[in-house]
Amino acid sequence: MSLVTVSHLSKKFRSHNAVDDLSFSVEEGDVYGFLGQNGAGKSTTIRMLLTLVRPTSGHIDIFGLNLNKERKKILSQIGAVIEKPDLYKYLSAYENLSLFARMSGFINSKKELNAQLEMVGLAGRETDLVKTFSQGMKQRLGIAVALIHNPRLIILDEPTNGLDPQGIADMRNLILHLSRHLHKTVIVSSHLLNEIEQISNRMLIIDEGKKIVEGTVESLTDPARTLVEVTVDNPIAATSRIESSSWFCYLIKTENNHLIFQLPKHLIPELNRSLVQLEINVLSLQAKNSLEAQFLSLTRSKQNVAAFTD
């Protein structure tokens, strides 16, 4: 069952298309990785899912309901942490959680609130002031706040930003716990492929506001969908010749002097021969087998490679 369905979603800020005709779906029970460079449109999309930003066009259905028409009912079943959680630093972890629970209309016992704090790894720190917490502890407390009303869907925007390696590992384990033991559907946005690859069962990669690829980790590394990056000396002429050939259906992106194809691995030798027959000067041809290589190839336009391998 699709818990979230996004159809032809766009958001334009003056002349800038932050999100451009984006469509995807999140199934119930997914840990759905939402991947892209910084500035790719992830946060804008998430803010539209939470009605913090109004779309320029497109439709969003959540829990089978139209977000425009059923905003209050939908949001009551969503928990979210957007960037750094908004907490009261001069209150303790317990006091923060109790306060947010009351603000949400819930009356929880001390035992229930402490159990929530234990679940996110803050046992023993319940009475400590938030100002003494590390960024990772604040993130975990933010998730405890987001869970206070037992939501069906949890949305986390860059939850590992600013965390040290141990904090990243703790966040990863917490997300897996939410999915496997609490049976929550989780959307996690990030620019860190290796983290998303370890926790998600499905993922979406976007670049410049557009969907590049969506699917399972297994399908994205399937030999039948191998990415092939071809470097040519004249990409305009090469693209024109490919358009009139049977290989055009495999061409998914043109970036500078690189043509990126997605096709079954066994067709690579035939592709190479055909490009030569089309009088295209091939300077190099590389198959991208790993998911990381695919990610870098598809989102290479603006960001240094190091940003994706930290």
Residue-wise pLDDT for 68-90, tens only, equals: 999 999 999 999 998 778 899 99
As to burial, measured by CB atoms within 10 angstroms (0-12 exposed, 13-18 middle, 19+ buried), residue 111 is: exposed
- Domains along the chain with CATH numbers: 2-214 (3.40.50.300), 222-289 (3.30.70.980)
DSSP state of 3: E
DSSP state of 34: E
Angle between helices 135-146 and 93-103 (to 10 degrees): 30
CA dihedral of residues 216, 1, 159, 9 (deg, nearest 10): 90
Question: In the prediction, which pLDDT does 94 show?
Answer: 95
Question: In the prediction, which pLDDT does 307 show?
Answer: 38
Mean pLDDT of the chain: 89
Residue found by looking up tokens 């969503």 in the block: 78
CA-closest candidate to residue 161, choices 187, 139, 132, 193: 139
Name the percent of the chain in helix, strand, coil, to the closest 5: 35, 30, 35
As to burial, measured by CB atoms within 10 angstroms (0-12 exposed, 13-18 middle, 19+ buried), residue 131 is: exposed
Q: 31-35 and 16-27: which strand pairing?
A: unpaired
DSSP string, 53-107: S--SEEEEEETTEETTTSHHHHHTTEEEEESS----TTSBHHHHHHHHHHHTT--
Q: How far apart are CA 171 and CA 35, in angstroms?
A: 17
Distance of CA 231 to the CA centre of its chain: 29
Q: Is 176 left (phi over 0), alpha (psi -120 to 50) or beta?
A: alpha
Q: How far apart are CA 116 and CA 13, in angstroms?
A: 39
282 in Cβ contact with 272 (< 8 Å): yes
How does residue 305 score in pLDDT terms, banded at 50, 70 and 90? Answer: very low
Query: What are the DSSP E strand ranges found in 137-182?
Result: 153-157
How does residue 138 score in pLDDT terms, banded at 50, 70 and 90? Answer: very high
Mean pLDDT value of segment 18-34: 95
CA-closest candidate to residue 255, choices 211, 202, 207, 216: 207
Say which range, 77-86, 108-117, 222-231, has the weakest mean pLDDT.
Answer: 222-231
Mean pLDDT value of segment 143-161: 93
Q: Which residues contact 280 (CB under 8 A, 6 or more apart)?
A: 232, 234, 237, 238, 241, 242
CA-closest candidate to residue 190, choices 3, 43, 23, 50: 43
